[in-house]
Amino acid sequence: MTTMAPILEARGLSRSFGHVRALIDADFDVEAGEVVALIGDNGAGKSTMVKAMTGNLEVDSGELLFEGEPVTISSPQQASGMGMEVVYQDLALAPHLNPVQNMFLGREIPRKGVLGWFGFMDEKAMREKARAGFADLGGTVRALGAQVGMMSGGQRQQIAIVRSITWANKIIFLD
């Protein structure tokens, strides 16, 4: 029987901020289909660990393996391209944009043809994909045209979660 490598494995990650050692030789791995909890007190390094594994923060030492291969993840865009997304504590939403615009921020679908060449977006396709994501989650966000800043905290959380589910196909971190 062969065992598969974890999707993501961190070995010996260390990170200091001046004299404060946020991570000291930390290990972490996640297998396909697995739900893993990283538990600790405030200030224990959980967010630092997530940021280190998703390209938001350089580490002082240690290594990452993605699907068994050593990798250096140097940006959140690289992590996204690998199928990883993060829902941050602050949700990282633009309050003046609507849920659809937040979901597709930086990933807009251009219109087909010459209008797409001029930067016009396929708002209908983006709205349909967003609506399907909220339906899959069983969410209560119905006003897809309303500003996110005017929505409840629970609705904003749903938007951030649906955004990550829409784009991740390997790992979703809930920080």
Q: Inform me whether the pLDDT recorded for 151 exceeds 70.
A: yes
Q: Are residues 113 and 157 in the same domain?
A: yes
Return the pLDDT at 127.
93
pLDDT tens-digit readout, 10-59: 999 999 999 999 999 999 999 999 999 999 999 899 999 999 999 999 99
**Predicted model pTM:** 0.84
158 with 108, same domain? yes
Report if residue 87 sits inside a domain: no
Task: Confirm whether 30 is domain-assigned.
Answer: yes
Q: Are residues 115 and 156 in the same domain?
A: yes
* Structural domain for 14, as ranges: 8-82
According to the 3-state scheme, what is the secondary structure of the chain? CCCCCCCEEEEEEEEEECCEEEEEEEEEEECCCCCCCCCCCCCCCHHHHHHHHCCCCCCCEEEEEECCEEECCCCHHHHHHCCEEEECCCCCCCCCCCHHHHHCCCCCCECCCHHHHCCCECHHHHHHHHHHHHHHHCCCCCCCCCCHHHCCHHHHHHHHHHHHHHHCCCEEEEC
Do residues 15 and 68 share a domain? yes
Residue 91 lies in a domain: no
